[in-house]
Structure 1
Amino acid sequence: MLAYAPALLCLLMFCAGVVHERRRFSNAVLLGLTFLFAGSAWLFELHRTHPVLGRNLAIALLLVVALGIVTLAWFLISNGTVMVRKEGTRPANLLSLLAGVALVALLVLLVATLILRNRTLAAVTGTAVALTGYVAFLFLCFVVYAFLYGRLNPPRRADYVVVLGSGLAGGATVPPLLASRLERARAVHARQSRRGRQPVLLTSGGQGPDEKVPESHAMADYLVERGVPAELIEREDRSTTTEENLRFSRRIMESANPDYRCVIVTNNYHAFRAALAARRAGVRGYVVGSPTAAYFWPSAMIREFAAIFLTYRRTNLAFCLLFFLGGGAIWWLG
């Protein structure tokens, strides 16, 4: 049972982290380490007590992983082509396609290494596999915890419902992606109203260079047209990024009520990163997500993960450097 001690320790740290502050990426990593250590301990104990069964199971798991990588590459490339067809060739829309191509390239590199048995190629392949494994582990941690975070109950009290902007269609029209946020905000507001509260709906978004009006004004007009009283709506119309959305909204809420609590509404793929940004901005609020089209979700999640990966770039750069050094050591010792 001692083999399970690391998993138990990570689980306890994860639970303490969630109770203390849900909006930390370290919670996601601790949850991932819990599963990783628990699975490794189980395989170790199984191999120790039933060597043949343990070996066969390990081989089966490797085959499942290999098949999973091939399937994932096919899915990402297929999704990438759909994204390009429906959303255009902007860099953000190419992420799932590029990820699928990268997985295919990794598989080709692995096969070439097994066939050629070249020392330099083996070092390059080992480094690539280590980097891919590291990034894949963090991405899985992100996806699983983002899913769990989206299902944690928001606080019962909310003085504000903050809606984050996401750009206007044709410079003045609320597009479907933003409309889904506004509809979720209306639902949250209605639920709070049934509890006897009258929270303010705070629309947040400035005017982009290709927009005729600030996003927050178009969002407010959308809500008024659907029956929300204008006196319950406030606008934050200076922000151009998510971080500014949150920082400027916090100033508005604090000036009116220093003891405020809020619910922040965005799309479901963006909810966890928005929660991390809200913690850094000092916003006292919980983030909820609205539905997103299924074909849009993979590229959007990859983009969100890339942004989080860069947020913690010093730590990630240090690990990547270790992998490169390890690859160099493989080449030198080989």
Structure 2
Amino acid sequence: MAAAFLVVALVSIRQDRRRFRNAVLLGLAVACLILALLGDIDRLPPETAAVVVFFVLLAPLFAVFVLAVFLLANGITMIRRESRSLGNLLSFLAGLGLLTLVVLLITAQYTQHPAIGAVAVSALAAVSYLSFLFCCYLGYAFLYSRLRARPGVDFVIVLGSRIIDGRIPPLLASRLDKAITLYRNERDRGGDPFVIASGGQGPDETQPEAHAMADYLLAHGVPADKLLREDRSTTTAQNLTLSRELMQHHRPGYRCVVVTNNFHAFRAAILARTAKVNGQVVGAPTALYYWPSATIREFAAVIMEHRLVNLSVTGLLAVTGFLAALP
């Protein structure tokens, strides 16, 4: 089964590396491999078997506790350095949720109370499903970020993000610097690409993001005649759809590369596929303290894009676990 899932995953990646199902198929391959190894554990010497059981069963429980503490600490850092928005609180809330689950499981084991045990099993079933999907997302997002876009593109699209008092913040500057590097590399290879600054004006912004981004690009050597502005979008999906219209107008049959931050690259790639944009997505570096909350936010957005399936499975597992644990 592990080999079968791996083969299907590789075929799917070859067809289009921007699918979320690629992440799930690779995750299923790894899960089946682990189950297969556990099924043959009786063939190992007792000492080796004990070590395997520890790392497969006990180490993850310890890792959950360590991860919860890390997420809580990161959440406090986000509160100190960033605004107290829901998106910036996600790492703190995730850490609090994991710690609550650990306490609930320990309490159920200690008290042996049927109702507490049923709630604990129900929560564990739901969290296990979401954790599996998150591990799939995280692993494939890391892999996707290592897959380089092929050279020979006609457009380099920079996805916008919030500007502060008309200035380019570090998060957006890293995207623009990455786009400038890609543009220069294409020119050095003999190409003649355009750069598209994509971003509209938010309610707390003094001008469209595309205009501030264009000023930055011009100041760093991108020629004005090779710079296009898409200044109407307010979401990533609109960034990509409206940029596609620009590309089709200037060069039908185009190929492009989309630039965003590394935590956003895989979800942007999924959205690019949905918007029928002919190109891959690359990620620019992000401050380490910002990465956990941003990654959780991106994962939550992917889950909510398939909310009917994921919420149904999560609810079904939670109810099944609760009923199964009742005496």
Shorter-normalised TM range: over 0.9
Determine the structure 2 residue equivalent to 1:217: 211
Please state how far the C-alpha of 1:56 moved relative to its aligned partner: 5.6
Determine the structure 2 residue equivalent to 1:311: 305
Partner letter of residue 153 of structure 1?
R
Match of 1:38 among 33, 38, 46: 33
Please state how far the C-alpha of 1:59 moved relative to its aligned partner: 4.0
Q: How far apart, CA to CA, are the structure 2 residues paired with 1:104 and 1:307? A: 23
Partner letter of residue 98 of structure 1?
L
Map residues 148-159 of structure 1 onto 2, 5 A cutoff: 148-159=143-154
Match of 1:134 among 109, 112, 129: 129
CA contact (8 A) 1:206 1:238 kept: yes
Map residues 1-334 of structure 1 onto 2, 5 A cutoff: 6-48=1-43, 50=45, 53-54=48-49, 57-170=52-165, 172-332=166-326, 334=327
Secondary structure of the residue aligned to 1:210 is coil
Inter-CA distance 329–52: structure 2 relative to 1 (3 Å threshold): farther
CA contact (8 A) 2:259 2:282 kept: yes
Please state how far the C-alpha of 1:245 moved relative to its aligned partner: 0.3
Secondary structure of the residue aligned to 1:162 is strand
Q: How far apart, CA to CA, are the structure 1 residues paired with 2:51 and 2:87? A: 42
Partner letter of residue 219 of structure 2?
E
Partner letter of residue 21 of structure 2?
S
Question: Structure 1 length normalisation: TM-score?
Answer: 0.95
Q: How far apart, CA to CA, are the structure 2 residues paired with 1:187 and 1:154? A: 13
Inter-CA distance 327–219: structure 2 relative to 1 (3 Å threshold): same
Which stretch of the first structure deviates more once superposed, 49-58 or 252-261? 49-58
Q: How far apart, CA to CA, are the structure 1 residues paired with 2:84 and 2:211? A: 29
Q: How far apart, CA to CA, are the structure 2 residues paired with 1:124 and 1:92? A: 28
Please state how far the C-alpha of 1:119 moved relative to its aligned partner: 1.3
Determine the structure 2 residue equivalent to 1:3: none
CA contact (8 A) 1:31 1:141 kept: yes
Partner letter of residue 223 of structure 1?
L
Number of equivalences? 327
Q: How far apart, CA to CA, are the structure 2 residues paired with 1:84 and 1:49? A: 49
Q: How far apart, CA to CA, are the structure 1 residues paired with 2:227 and 2:15? A: 32
Please state how far the C-alpha of 1:318 moved relative to its aligned partner: 2.2
Inter-CA distance 56–219: structure 2 relative to 1 (3 Å threshold): closer
Partner letter of residue 292 of structure 2?
P
Q: Deviations over 1:240-260 (max 9, x none)?
A: 000000000001111222200
Partner letter of residue 227 of structure 2?
I
Please state how far the C-alpha of 1:103 moved relative to its aligned partner: 0.9
Q: How far apart, CA to CA, are the structure 2 residues paired with 1:57 and 1:311? A: 37
Secondary structure of the residue aligned to 2:146 is coil
Inter-CA distance 119–24: structure 2 relative to 1 (3 Å threshold): same
CA contact (8 A) 2:183 2:195 kept: yes
Please state how far the C-alpha of 1:55 moved relative to its aligned partner: 5.4
Please state how far the C-alpha of 1:60 moved relative to its aligned partner: 4.6
Q: Deviations over 1:102-153 (max 9, x none)?
A: 1110111011101111111111111111111111111111111011111112
Q: How far apart, CA to CA, are the structure 2 residues paired with 1:60 and 1:22? A: 31
Please state how far the C-alpha of 1:213 moved relative to its aligned partner: 1.3
- Give the unaligned 5+ runs of structure 1: 1-5
Q: How far apart, CA to CA, are the structure 1 residues paired with 2:22 and 2:42? A: 30
Q: Which has the higher contact order (CA 8 A, sep 6+)?
A: 2
Please state how far the C-alpha of 1:47 moved relative to its aligned partner: 2.2
CA contact (8 A) 1:7 1:35 kept: yes
Percent of aligned positions that are identical:
46
Inter-CA distance 197–121: structure 2 relative to 1 (3 Å threshold): same
CA contact (8 A) 2:130 2:314 kept: no
CA contact (8 A) 2:148 2:282 kept: no
Partner letter of residue 271 of structure 1?
A
CA contact (8 A) 2:262 2:283 kept: yes
Which stretch of the first structure deviates more once superposed, 61-70 or 218-227? 61-70
CA contact (8 A) 1:43 1:54 kept: no
CA contact (8 A) 1:47 1:53 kept: no
CA contact (8 A) 2:201 2:231 kept: yes
